């Protein structure tokens, strides 16, 4: 039977395998587009633009997300119990105290944001505070603190940069192809050039989809890892398992949810829309709750 430590190590290995594959994928795509266009200038510009915009987003993403979700700051005097839960878990995890925020919505849910351990925030909905018992709330908070401890926010930023770069490269290639930017190379290479051009256009169309699938796969792996790390932090996997069941069974919509922030939450905020077919699972931001609960209840601490 898997232990929390072995499951966490397994998820870390799988995640970095996906990251490595992602980097190789981008390098190959960049080489193909550069070859067909006969110039590396566009590739260099695309990289600089993508990294610059993602760098700016990295430094200000927490403020943007807090504003988008209408999260309100909470001090110790406002909710002493919530503050003590976060404080105790931070001491156990060796983390500095993050900012605490509450979203005034009745759907039970939560997420963490911030660029590093010293600039982190834990956000919960009012519904989560109303509907969970203390041990269940501890499990959720521990899960979110594990995202901070495991540097998932940094990893998410790297993946966003890579996905953005793929989309940008594909867009540039398709636009230039229609402008005739590859015609000279095609005429020089003859039939082989035409075949490579067709492959390049197909790659430009399919690459953003493939990149998004890889991004979602990494997101799902990180959820499993944070489940394991959070359960290790509380030493009580059943608390988080029960919390996930309650969260998933609540059909209340989250009015402030959007596709751009959905992956941040501990469970999908779009309730009643999840399906279990293999194709749908590929495009899910979170693993099915049933699988997460099963993994938690099969762990040893």
The residues carrying an active-site annotation are: 144
The answer to whether residues 159 and 215 touch, using CB atoms and an 8 Å cutoff, is yes
Residue 26's closest CA among 204, 218, 166? 166
Q: How many CA atoms lie within 13 A of 126 on its CB side?
A: 10
The answer to whether residues 117 and 149 touch, using CB atoms and an 8 Å cutoff, is yes
Classify strands 110-114 and 99-103 as parallel, antiparallel or unpaired.
Answer: unpaired
- 10 Å CB burial of residue 225 (0-12, 13-18, 19+) is buried
Give dist(CA 47, CA 246) in Å, integer. Answer: 43
Residue 154's closest CA among 229, 54, 4, 24? 54
């Amino acid at each position: 039977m898997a232990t929390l430590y072995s499951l966490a190590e397994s998820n870390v290995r799988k995640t970095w395998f996906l990251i490595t594959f992602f980097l190789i994928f981008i390098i190959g795509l960049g080489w193909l587009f550069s070859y067909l266009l006969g110039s590396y200038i566009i590739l260099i510009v695309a990289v600089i633009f993508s990294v610059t915009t993602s760098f700016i987003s990295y430094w200000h993403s927490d403020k943007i997300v807090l504003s988008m979700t209408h999260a309100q700051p909470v001090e110790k005097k406002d909710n002493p119990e919530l503050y003590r839960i976060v404080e105790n878990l931070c001491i156990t995890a060796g983390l500095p105290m993050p900012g605490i925020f509450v979203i005034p919505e009745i759907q039970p849910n939560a997420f963490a944001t911030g660029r590093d351990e010293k600039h982190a925030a834990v956000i919960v909905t009012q519904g989560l505070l109303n509907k969970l018992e203390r041990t269940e709330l501890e499990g959720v908070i521990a899960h979110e603190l594990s995202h901070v401890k495991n540097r998932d926010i940094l990893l998410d930023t790297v993946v966003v940069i890579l996905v953005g770069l793929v989309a940008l490269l594909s867009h540039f290639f398709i636009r230039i192809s229609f402008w005739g930017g590859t015609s000279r190379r095609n005429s020089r290479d003859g039939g082989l050039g035409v075949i490579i051009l067709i492959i390049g256009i197909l790659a430009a169309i399919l690459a953003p989809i493939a990149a998004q699938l890889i991004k979602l796969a990494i997101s799902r792996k990180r959820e499993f890892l944070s489940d394991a790390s959070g359960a290790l932090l509380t030493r009580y996997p059943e608390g988080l398992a029960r919390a996930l069941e309650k969260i998933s069974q609540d059909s209340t919509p989250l009015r402030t949810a959007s596709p751009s922030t959905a992956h941040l939450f501990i469970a999908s905020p779009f309730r009643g829309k999840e399906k279990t077919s293999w194709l749908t699972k590929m495009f899910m931001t979170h693993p099915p709750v049933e699988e997460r609960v099963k993994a938690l209840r099969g762990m040893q601490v």
